[in-house]
Amino acid sequence: MDILVTVVLPLSLAVIMFSLGVGLVPADFRRVAERGWVFAIGALCQLALIPLVAYLVIMIFGLSGAIAAGVMLLALCPGGVTSNVVSRLAGGDVALSVSLTALISLISIVTVPLLVGWSVRHFMGESAPDFSVTSLALAMVLITALPVAIGMGVRALAPDFANRAEPGLLKLASALFVLIILAAIASNWDLFVENFASLGPALATLNIVTMLGGLMIAAALGLTRAEQKTISIEVGIQNGTLGITLAPIIAGVASGIPTIGLPSAIYGVVMYLTATPFVLWLRRRAS
């Protein structure tokens, strides 16, 4: 189990982020400037709407301690490669989805350590683990930003190879996502069973409210249907693998997945149950 926490989890997340980088080109970042208004809406929804809804969900469902801090950790994580795949399935703006994922992943290197530090102290009080915000930020650079940069470098130096490898890498990333979720649940099976009845509805509410909220905000501000779908999915689909991977670093453990990572693991299950019918409904909406 020590190997799972110290090696397998970080390496798996790095592979997932590398697969994101292989699909990126400089034009994806130029879109941020060219479509500034759209990106501003998406970024604000991800950086403000999700944590706000998560905090309200914690209060409404009476969550506390490490579980509450874990919900906030999940809410502060950016969308991952999964959101890009789901956006494609929903008929959204895939280029916008990829660019938003990349942009927010970079911003999260600053926002996640700072806000997680506050969340842990706020919800766990005296039992809060003593961890370094700087060390957490450095860990995020190593397991998110660096693999993305390497992936982009591979595409720039060997575009033909990147084009051939990208489909396989996306499949591998999806498989690793599922394996990380299953491993986290298995290592905390008793906690999973004990908390699913309360956490399941809370996380389903978080997922549904954020997806609907992102959709309504994008529609109210005049974005196209494809952009609305993408904003909704980027806001609603969180990178639970990042939450699970950061949890041991925050809790300072080297074996097993700590309680603070449990919401991210359960969310990986709940997300599919709630997002699937929502995506099917989005597909039926006019483009």
Cα(196)–Cα(266) distance, integer angstroms: 7
pLDDT tens column, 27-67: 777 776 777 888 889 888 888 999 999 999 999 999 999 99
Q: Which residues of the chain have pLDDT under 70?
A: 1-7, 32, 188, 254-256, 285-287
Task: For residue 32, give its domain range.
Answer: 2-284
pLDDT the model gives residue 258? 84
Which CATH number is 272's domain given?
1.20.1530.20
Q: Are 267 and 197 in contact (CB under 8 A)?
A: no
Distances (CA, A) of 128 to 199, 251, 259, 260: 20, 8, 12, 11
pLDDT the model gives residue 204? 93
Cα(97)–Cα(25) distance, integer angstroms: 14
Q: What is the pTM of this model?
A: 0.85
Rg (CA), the chain: 18
Domain count within the chain: 1
Cα(113)–Cα(95) distance, integer angstroms: 28
Q: Are 105 and 43 in contact (CB under 8 A)?
A: no
Residue 129, CB half-sphere, CA atoms under 13 Å: how many?
A: 18
Nearest residue to 173 via CA among 92, 181, 7: 181
